[in-house]
Structure 1
Amino acid sequence: MLKNRLLFYCALAISGITAFSCTKEPDLIGLDLLPPGDLLNIDYIDTSSIVAYTVREDSLRTDELTLNLLGSISDPVFGTTTASIYTQYRLSKNNITFGENAVADSMVLTLVYKGIYGDSLAPKTIRVYEMADSINYDSSYYSTRTIPVLPELIGEATFVPNLSEADSVDGNYMPPHMRIMLSQAFADKIISADTNTLKDNESFQKIFMGLYLTSEQATTPGTGSILYFNLLDAVSRLKIYYHNSTDTSTIDFPIGSYSARFNQYNHNNYAGADPSMLEQFADSSANTEHLYVQSMAGTKIKLRIPYLKALAAQKRIAVNEALLVFTVEDTSGVYEVPAQLALKKLDADGDYTALPDETEGSSFLDGKSRSGKEYRFRITRYIQNRLLNPGDPDYGLMLFAAGSSLSGNRVTLRGPNAAEGKIRLLIYYTIVD
């Protein structure tokens, strides 16, 4: 039989206190989450219950993504990160011929912009090399993978990205794009290829294995940017301009959806990053006033809620709602925070498993940025299951940026030791006989 319906606001945060008390005033942060009229029914339980610290991401799969990232950013909190691209390019048709006495006039690489993260006004320097080993469309490639490249630079450009203005090239409309002139030696290599090399893509890619694009490293904190490109757009291609004995013409070498491609992310071992983050890498018990989430296979947060065992032993309860709330530390907007964070359970092997609340749909679990100031997760079923089965192994939770493989965003959150706005777990429940 249900007893009096009680609504408890449980602000669970690391404070070093293992017992609980109902004598303190509730923290006003988070009271906006309560239904109107229920403020008089609140008890405040002060516990040492959430353990959280920052860990490094091992690597993420980055092949055949819808976006590819390129650039370098020197973040005053996260240090310097450089994003590079490995990609194939293809014949536009089989049995390409350039005609008699063909001569390459020039060759251009174009990549269509889809966005930018960081300083959009600063010049960028992008360099292009030929790959010295092949990649395979059917293989998996991760963010730490590197492919050998030939030493000769075949293209370089320094420019300020213009993502707002379309261009007209050769009389044709082209969406905003990066344009890099490739070397004459590389163009000559293409145009002098024999007919067997140019008969089909399998033969072509044995000789022309692909391109490696990388950025000059940003070195001054607060500078640099990460460019987003759509390599699936028809304008993302190589184009050779040539003439032969009878005519002048062009031939495209598209990238497209059938080209193997992947991103490589280099965090430079987090040199110059916030010392607190580096301490958490080395020691999970280090000061956790701040926690750090970075995309591009950067950093994530491991969490545990050990107090739930004690709560389960004290009373039988039915959880009406449980909200896990994270407060953003830096809301200045200089570095845009991730649009959404993701939360997963960990199994015995450290792999991700879905929270039971995900069966209600992504909007139920939430995790979306609230005006860049806060993230909330509804984990009602997860908390109820933990309370009903306190003896089950608990391997913790992992918090990370949703879409981390194809985004440059990052965020600093207030951690368990923050003076204000620390992590909070709000549990609304009913006592059951």
Structure 2
Amino acid sequence: MKRAFTILSMVIFGGMLVYNCEPDPDSLGEQLFLDGAASGKEVAYDVTAYNIDNNDSIRTDASKLGLATLGAFSESQFGMQKASYYTQLRLPAYDPDFGTNPTVDSVVLVIKPTYASDSITTTTDENYVYPDGSVPAKKVVNTYPATKYGRTKFNGGNLTVKVEEVTEFLNGYSDIAYSNKVYGSGQELGTKTFNGKVSSVVLTKDSDNSQLFSSEVGFRIPLSASFFKTKIIDKKGQPELKDVASFIRYFRGLKLSVTESDGYLVQFSPSTVELIMYYKSTDTGATTSTQKKYAFSVGNGNAHIGNYEYNRVGAAVKDPAIGDKKLFAQGMGGSSIGIKFPVETINKLKALYQIDKAAIVSAKIRMYTDPVAWKNHLKKPTVLTIVQKDIVDGKPTTNFTQDLLKLSSTPNFAYIKTYNLDKDPAYYEFTVTQSVKDIVESGEKYSDKSFKVDMGNFLSSSTGTTLAGYQFTSRPFALDRAVFVGSDTTSENKIQLIVTYGTK
């Protein structure tokens, strides 16, 4: 099944993402400044900003889950977040023949967390002995730090990863699933400490330098050999292994989780997960057993589901005394930010247009991170999404902003610009020029219009040249979170609408 969009594509039209730039007029109204035809004035107007509670739930089925997340992280503003992962698995071919007298040597589950490829440590063991046949060999291990979000040194940087058998049917690849759904799990199949690093391994024979074994960069978790002997090998010729429909209801999947409630989060692509069974059996006509490798299908075509657990007790995001003076935005089902223009602001802009004959050259929503509440070691978000909401014919609608719909192909257009990401506070500007002009100049009804800001990025279509749609974003797996200054009249960094207008 082809996906309608390419997961993880950063969409950049012209200068869509521009950092540390001086404010500049949008191309929409820049003609007003040509040849001295106009003078520009920048004015700040109040907006009404508020937090949107998403009930800590979001779609995280295979069509939405560009990256799987694993780990746990706690901090004072958003509380505790714990991420687990469910996956189906299938046989590479059905009604398999494992040969005569098969025995399972080992089973390993491999996940491949994202990592810093430019930071490598190599260790070599010239005296390694390959266990199958006691073959003298050389072992070369390349190790890299995984990309982590959270408290990377907590508990010595260790997370305990646990793998369990799923006991509840996960449905199909194209079925909808949500992040707050907990599926049943049973027997523990394996556990291993993850130290925050991933590695590749190459084993070569001393005698002729031939390769005995190699593995790509990843994290390998040993699983129970006896479980797979009983679950798979001993079912040879039975109905459970005859076809895919029977198999995914018999062996319903695997759950990956961590035992800790604090530490950090790591991510990996579901399509690259591997499950390998190493076994020995005697082939027809042979007298001795030989080692074989059996790779299950764990990637594309299977149900993949992210499970996110939150504990907000005592967290600032749930403090009623704070209200909307601070704005909390978090990916992966956390809160969003809503923005409306007060009637007073719209009336002032309409008066400028109708009475003073002013033309809006640029309109931006400027939003600062809270310099106290969000002063920490975490990397500030580099991009957020903004959509426009309305009620049309009595029904709520959501779409890209008018600026994204009409101007995304315009040279130097950027729907968001970021400033001072390495400082406190950082700030973000969302281009809403066309949206504001439509309200002010067309006389459209405004009371039902608003904006919604989220963590994450818009995803591109399969062609890579257009956006897939306002509903296709990386929010289901966006690790970022941040606290911003809201409609706080006492703060110089309060969220505002910055309008540049020109008069002839």
- TM-score (ref. length: structure 1): 0.80
1:355 aligns with one of 389, 401, 411? 401
Residues in 1 aligned to 2:323 and 2:250: alpha-carbon distance in whole angstroms: 53
Q: Is the 8 A contact 2:274 2:296 kept in 1?
A: yes
Per-residue CA deviation, residues 40-89 of structure 1 (Å, 9 max, x unaligned), is x6767575x31112222243221122211111111222110011111111
Distance change >3 Å, CA 46–CA 346, structure 1 → 2 = closer
Distance change >3 Å, CA 172–CA 356, structure 1 → 2 = farther
Distance change >3 Å, CA 347–CA 44, structure 1 → 2 = closer
> Could you tell me how far 1:34 is from its partner in structure 2?
5.5
Residues in 1 aligned to 2:224 and 2:434: alpha-carbon distance in whole angstroms: 60
Per-residue CA deviation, residues 253-274 of structure 1 (Å, 9 max, x unaligned), is 1311111111111112x12311
Residues in 1 aligned to 2:380 and 2:396: alpha-carbon distance in whole angstroms: 26
Per-residue CA deviation, residues 155-210 of structure 1 (Å, 9 max, x unaligned), is 212221214x4333784443321221112442222221232333333332121111
Per-residue CA deviation, residues 321-364 of structure 1 (Å, 9 max, x unaligned), is 11111122357561122221111112346553221111211873
Residues in 1 aligned to 2:501 and 2:185: alpha-carbon distance in whole angstroms: 60
> Could you tell me how far 1:365 is from its partner in structure 2?
4.5
Match of residue 116 from structure 1: 148
Work out whether 1:272 is the aligned partner of 2:314. Answer: yes
Residues in 2 aligned to 1:315 and 1:419: alpha-carbon distance in whole angstroms: 26
Matches within 5 A, 1:338-377: 338-348=381-391, 352-359=398-405, 360-361=407-408, 364-372=413-421, 373-377=426-430
Matches within 5 A, 1:75-90: 75-90=75-90
> Could you tell me how far 1:431 is from its partner in structure 2?
4.8
Distance change >3 Å, CA 118–CA 176, structure 1 → 2 = farther
Work out whether 1:176 is the aligned partner of 2:225. Answer: no
- SS of match in other structure, 2:197: coil
2:61 aligns with one of 51, 60, 63? 63
> Could you tell me how far 1:310 is from its partner in structure 2?
1.6
Per-residue CA deviation, residues 25-49 of structure 1 (Å, 9 max, x unaligned), is xxxxx995267x99xx6767575x3
Q: Is the 8 A contact 2:42 2:499 kept in 1?
A: no
Per-residue CA deviation, residues 294-316 of structure 1 (Å, 9 max, x unaligned), is 11111111111113332245232
- Give the letter for the 2:319 counterpart: E
Distance change >3 Å, CA 342–CA 384, structure 1 → 2 = same
Per-residue CA deviation, residues 96-133 of structure 1 (Å, 9 max, x unaligned), is 22212212222111111123222344100111111112
Match of residue 440 from structure 2: 387
Work out whether 1:410 is the aligned partner of 2:410. Answer: no
Match of residue 421 from structure 1: 493
Match of residue 23 from structure 2: 33
Q: Is the 8 A contact 2:49 2:339 kept in 1?
A: yes
- SS of match in other structure, 1:383: helix
Distance change >3 Å, CA 166–CA 184, structure 1 → 2 = closer
- SS of match in other structure, 1:181: strand
Q: Is the 8 A contact 2:85 2:256 kept in 1?
A: yes
Work out whether 1:396 is the aligned partner of 2:450. Answer: yes
Work out whether 1:154 is the aligned partner of 2:200. Answer: no
> Could you tell me how far 1:401 is from its partner in structure 2?
0.7
Q: Is the 8 A contact 2:388 2:450 kept in 1?
A: yes
- SS of match in other structure, 2:435: helix
- Give the letter for the 2:493 counterpart: G
Matches within 5 A, 1:211-230: 211-219=254-262, 224-230=263-269
- SS of match in other structure, 1:358: helix
- SS of match in other structure, 2:438: helix
- Give the letter for the 1:354 counterpart: F
> Could you tell me how far 1:318 is from its partner in structure 2?
2.5
Q: Is the 8 A contact 1:338 1:369 kept in 2?
A: no
Q: Is the 8 A contact 1:308 1:387 kept in 2?
A: no
Residues in 2 aligned to 1:257 and 1:266: alpha-carbon distance in whole angstroms: 25
Structure 1: gaps (5+ residues): 1-29
Distance change >3 Å, CA 313–CA 427, structure 1 → 2 = closer
Residues in 2 aligned to 1:63 and 1:176: alpha-carbon distance in whole angstroms: 26
> Could you tell me how far 1:142 is from its partner in structure 2?
1.8
Structure 2: gaps (5+ residues): 1-19, 26-32, 115-146, 204-210, 283-288, 457-473
Match of residue 131 from structure 1: 166
Work out whether 1:255 is the aligned partner of 2:298. Answer: yes
CA RMSD of aligned residues (A): 2.9
- Give the letter for the 1:278 counterpart: K
Residues in 2 aligned to 1:361 and 1:42: alpha-carbon distance in whole angstroms: 24
- Give the letter for the 1:406 counterpart: F
Q: Which has the higher contact order (CA 8 A, sep 6+)?
A: 2
Residues in 1 aligned to 2:90 and 2:299: alpha-carbon distance in whole angstroms: 8
> Could you tell me how far 1:248 is from its partner in structure 2?
2.2
Work out whether 1:193 is the aligned partner of 2:246. Answer: no
Percent identical residues: 24
Stretch moving more, 120-129 or 369-378: 369-378
Distance change >3 Å, CA 185–CA 279, structure 1 → 2 = same
Per-residue CA deviation, residues 381-414 of structure 1 (Å, 9 max, x unaligned), is 1011111325343242111112211221111212
Residues in 1 aligned to 2:387 and 2:172: alpha-carbon distance in whole angstroms: 31
Match of residue 50 from structure 2: 53
- SS of match in other structure, 1:203: helix
Stretch moving more, 194-203 or 402-411: 194-203
Q: Which has the higher strand share?
A: 2
- Give the letter for the 1:271 counterpart: V
